[in-house]
Amino acid sequence: MGNNDLCLREAILSEETEDGKIRCLTCMRRCIIPEGKLGFCKTRKNIDGKLFTLTYGDISSLSANPIEKKPFFHFYVGSKALTVGSYSCNFLCYWCQNWEISNRAPDEFKNYVSPEQFMRLVKAYKCQGTSISFNEPTLMLEYSLDVFKLAKSGGYYNTYVTNGYMTPEALSLLVENGLDAMNVDVKGCKEAVKKYCGADVDYVWSNIREAKKRGIHVEVTTLVIPRVNDDVDCLRSIARRIRDEDENTPWHVTRFHPEYKMTDRESTPIKTLEQARQIGVEEGLKYVYIGNVPGHSGENTWCPNCGELLIERYIFSIAKYRITEDKKCPKCGTEIPIIGESNL
């Protein structure tokens, strides 16, 4: 059996429509797909009345990354996650930094890595967990479920770096099969997300709420882009929605650099990011981080009660880690919400 055949698997979530087409139930686009056609993301195809994924284990990228790169700042600090991605996306983001793979449909030649092979690589690279990332991981749902089950049996954690646009059915399967943490990219406010990503951000917020309700560790990232989502009202509304779910949820406000279809504007001014961080604090968030600005104090974790420096970071490295074994501030005793053991 060739790699092309191995990457073709029947989709786990679909239903037949009244007119004999197939509705995909993987993401909130819920594409209705006629015989022989592809859905929006081009990774799922109606073949003889059944829905198939074309990218099971078709790996475009693989790397052993610091968990801080996702970014996760409150989850297994200092650990490494073996990270994989495939091809295509269910969003249309004009600024995508991984556009070479997210804008590419699966092609004829497959690079198949079985879940078992992947887990052997996790061990070989001395990683503490897995991460599905690079392109939208929801499109690798079937592969994720198989990897996550193997990872859990071996004592590893599982993470998603996602736009948060999976269906409730898909999210339930992920939770039930071993997902531990999600970094969800909230790309802006409603009109901007509709215009630049072709999506409804309300579904993203719904998934954040449900994931947290079901015990998944969630961190939120917003790439702050000039003239897209950098106005005070938008940033404040994002901060409020995060706070309304949980004031301890980390919010990463990260710096945009011109990329893909959005080269008509400057990199985000650092002052804008500092303003975004201040807005988050004003709205009651306890942990707001500045990203893509190496050496900025906003990369660090500070005690929200006494202001003590708890974790000092430089890019993806940990320079200092001062949280006690029982996960408290060493100066004032405030509990700090860090998931899992540090690898320092």
Residue 122 has a pLDDT of: 98
What is the band of 76 on the pLDDT scale with cuts at 50, 70, 90?
Answer: very high
Sign of the CA dihedral running 298, 72, 164, 93: positive
User: Cis peptide before 106, with omega less than 30 degrees from 0?
Assistant: no
Burial of 325 (0-12, 13-18, 19+ CB in 10 A): exposed
Contact predicate 231/277, CB 8 Å: no
What is the tens place of the pLDDT at every residue in 284-326?
Answer: 999 999 999 999 999 999 999 999 999 999 999 999 999 999 9
Domain extent listing, the chain: 3-53, 186-299, 302-344
What is the tens place of the pLDDT at every residue in 10-35?
Answer: 999 999 998 989 999 999 999 999 99
What is the tens place of the pLDDT at every residue in 241-284?
Answer: 999 999 999 999 999 999 999 999 999 999 999 999 999 999 99
**What count of residues does the chain have?**
344
174 contacts: CB under 8 Å, gap ≥ 6 = 141, 144, 145, 148, 160, 166
Residue 309 has a pLDDT of: 98
Residue 256 has a pLDDT of: 98
Task: Examine the pLDDT at 40 and tell me if it is beyond 80.
Answer: yes
Token code pair at residue 147: 């990897």
Query: Measured between alpha carbons, how far is 32 from 24 in angstroms, rounded to an integer?
Result: 6
| Type of residue numbered 239 | A
Query: Measured between alpha carbons, how far is 253 from 275 in angstroms, rounded to an integer?
Result: 10
**Matching residue, tokens 């790397």:** 63
- Beta bridge pairs of residue 14: 24
Residue 109 has a pLDDT of: 79
Phi and psi at 138, nearest 5°, equal: -60, -30
Q: Are strands 32-33 and 22-24 parallel, antiparallel or unpaired?
A: antiparallel
Task: Examine the pLDDT at 67 and tell me if it is beyond 60.
Answer: yes
The continuous run of DSSP H or E covering 257 comes out as none
Task: Examine the pLDDT at 98 and tell me if it is beyond 70.
Answer: yes
| Type of residue numbered 327 | K
| Type of residue numbered 114 | S
Query: Measured between alpha carbons, how far is 114 from 132 in angstroms, rounded to an integer?
Result: 14
What is the band of 2 on the pLDDT scale with cuts at 50, 70, 90?
Answer: low
Residue-averaged pLDDT of the chain: 96
Task: Examine the pLDDT at 4 and tell me if it is beyond 90.
Answer: no
Token code pair at residue 255: 């710096």
The continuous run of DSSP H or E covering 75 comes out as none
The count of other CB atoms within 10 Å of the CB of residue 200 is 15
Residue 344 has a pLDDT of: 76
Task: Examine the pLDDT at 1 and tell me if it is beyond 70.
Answer: no
What is the tens place of the pLDDT at every residue in 124-161?
Answer: 999 999 999 999 999 999 999 999 999 999 999 999 99
Query: Measured between alpha carbons, how far is 63 from 80 in angstroms, rounded to an integer?
Result: 10
Q: Could you tell me what percent of the chain has a pLDDT over 90?
A: 94
CATH homologous superfamily, domain 186-299: pyruvate-formate lyase- activating enzyme (3.80.30.10)
Return the higher-pLDDT residue of 106 and 71.
71
Span 42-67, average pLDDT: 97
DSSP code string of 131-189: EE-SS-GGGGHHHHHHHHHHHHHTT-EEEEEE-S-B-HHHHHHHHHTT--EEEEE--SS
Query: Measured between alpha carbons, how far is 239 from 297 in angstroms, rounded to an integer?
Result: 20
